[in-house]
Structure 1
């Protein structure tokens, strides 16, 4: 006969541990905002160092004061450039909260693209659906993305949705291009297709969801770095295992942070700062913003230097 009292103690212990884990994930970790710092060697030889603050996936609700106050403090980092990779909203009345939280960052040079939760509000979902990459997507009510876009552009940030643009920040010449959200299949890469400017100090691509079909196109056009969000870093992760899902086409090893895509392009995926209001939890995946310090690539590994040398060797003397 099984020891009923022992089984009862095990069940009570498991329930207690689950309750503690849920409490930690919903009350503590999802509000344990952190700044991650990364150095990425992607600039042309001789270029000045560039400090880029990437922010993503706020999923802002009007009453989320802790998140808003933490975001506001990021201006003290004094970044050269701010890049917002989308999913700013989670409520029809969140635009003022986002604008006020960004504060002084909106007075700095900035670039942005939007994600699915800028266009449509969140809805309850079966969490097991995320394990099926081909699951049917359900969209919530429209969100005021046009108001958010106007607020950003009025303050000088550039909307990079299906746009190519040359800018100069801190003495660094940047050729930048972006697409609309591939998660919604709104990307139209053909509108920005073509080799990136080989004379730029940095060729920068922007997308909300890091879908391989889009990353491959950026790499083929010789972009140095692509910034993306969307994954939430897996959001609910396991010790020694990491993310269980990415909610897009990339593999779990790339769910957050820097990685190489193809022979030369760097990819950086932000784990973001928020959650859906219907799954307000993070576990082993703190909400984050990232300060990327971009420095020149070593001359012997800089693919532009190698390309130029190859072209010179092919040219008639």
Structure 2
């Protein structure tokens, strides 16, 4: 019986790590007509994911932007071919990236950043981009985006940050904040949610999904991978976001 339980748990864990789901988020704003965003977070060079199926799913949604909110690789990643293949197959899209702790800690990260450049992925870590009526701000991991003037609230302002704490520690009136890092808690329980976070802190307030903080849409992705290959009631995922015109 014990062997059967162990086998079941191993198979179930493989399912959680390999069979991604697509989270869907619909928001409204009177600042823009229609905008489609795909957020990828915490991929961690996931060897279990069917990358062809992932690319096909993203292409079907056909986003205006792809935002990668950190930890595309893990700190111990040496072979970047899977990540390079993913970026190559998505290179027709406008892709923006902010660093996570694993990119910062990987000793081969120069090679990784060269791959970003190769496929025209824009590294917004500590930078800013304006595209028509959308402002996109990017955090470096462990910091809060430092701008010298107030946000222009006539524009739709988006912040990309790997760690939610970097936003929560310096809240500004963005329209949308996208983050990751928490992995949705890795292990979750029904009606309780995340058990423990990176702190480590038990039962943290913010772990996964959409929150409203001072009328700011604040979203935490549970991510497409795992540095520790363990998940429970928390399948890997990426998110498709539609922002439609409306007050």
Shorter-chain TM-score: which interval?
0.7 to 0.9
- Size of the alignment, in residue pairs? 244
Supply the distance in 1 between the matched residues of 2:115 and 2:234 (Cα, whole angstroms).
30
TM-score, structure 1 normalization: 0.69
2:109 to 145, 163, 170: 145
Residues 287-298 of structure 1 mapped to structure 2, 5 A cutoff:
287-298=236-247
In the alignment, what sits opposite 1:111?
A: 96
Bigger relative contact order, structure 1 or 2, given CA contacts below 8 A and separation 6+?
A: 2
Q: Which runs of 5+ in 2 are unaligned?
A: none
2:24 to 37, 40, 55: 37
- Aligned to 1:107, what secondary structure does the other structure show? coil
TM-score, structure 2 normalization: 0.87
The answer to whether the 8 Å contact 2:137/2:145 transfers is no
Q: Could you say if the C-alpha distance between residues 21 and 255 of structure 1 is closer, same or farther in structure 2, counting changes exceeding 3 Å?
A: farther
Corresponding position: 1:258 with 2:210: yes
1:243 to 190, 194, 198: 194
RMSD of aligned alpha carbons: 2.4
Corresponding position: 1:207 with 2:158: no
1:160 to 105, 118, 124: 124
The answer to whether the 8 Å contact 1:72/1:103 transfers is no
Supply the distance in 2 between the matched residues of 1:31 and 1:65 (Cα, whole angstroms).
5
Supply the distance in 2 between the matched residues of 1:48 and 1:240 (Cα, whole angstroms).
36
- Aligned to 1:151, what secondary structure does the other structure show? helix
In the alignment, what sits opposite 1:195?
A: 150
In the alignment, what sits opposite 1:179?
A: 139
Supply the distance in 2 between the matched residues of 1:52 and 1:269 (Cα, whole angstroms).
14
Q: Could you say if the C-alpha distance between residues 197 and 146 of structure 1 is closer, same or farther in structure 2, counting changes exceeding 3 Å?
A: farther
Cα deviation per residue 1:122-146 (whole Å; 9 max; x = unaligned)? xxxxxxxxxxxxxxxxxxxx34322
- Aligned to 1:189, what secondary structure does the other structure show? coil
Deviation at 1:101, TM superposition (A): 1.8
Deviation at 1:180, TM superposition (A): 1.0
1:58 to 43, 47, 59: 43
If you compute each CA radius of gyration, which structure gives the higher value, 1 or 2? 1
- Aligned to 1:272, what secondary structure does the other structure show? coil
- Aligned to 2:164, what secondary structure does the other structure show? coil
1:100 to 85, 88, 91: 85
Deviation at 1:152, TM superposition (A): 2.1
Supply the distance in 1 between the matched residues of 2:55 and 2:63 (Cα, whole angstroms).
13
Deviation at 1:51, TM superposition (A): 0.7
Q: Which runs of 5+ in 1 are unaligned?
A: 1-11, 121-141, 299-317
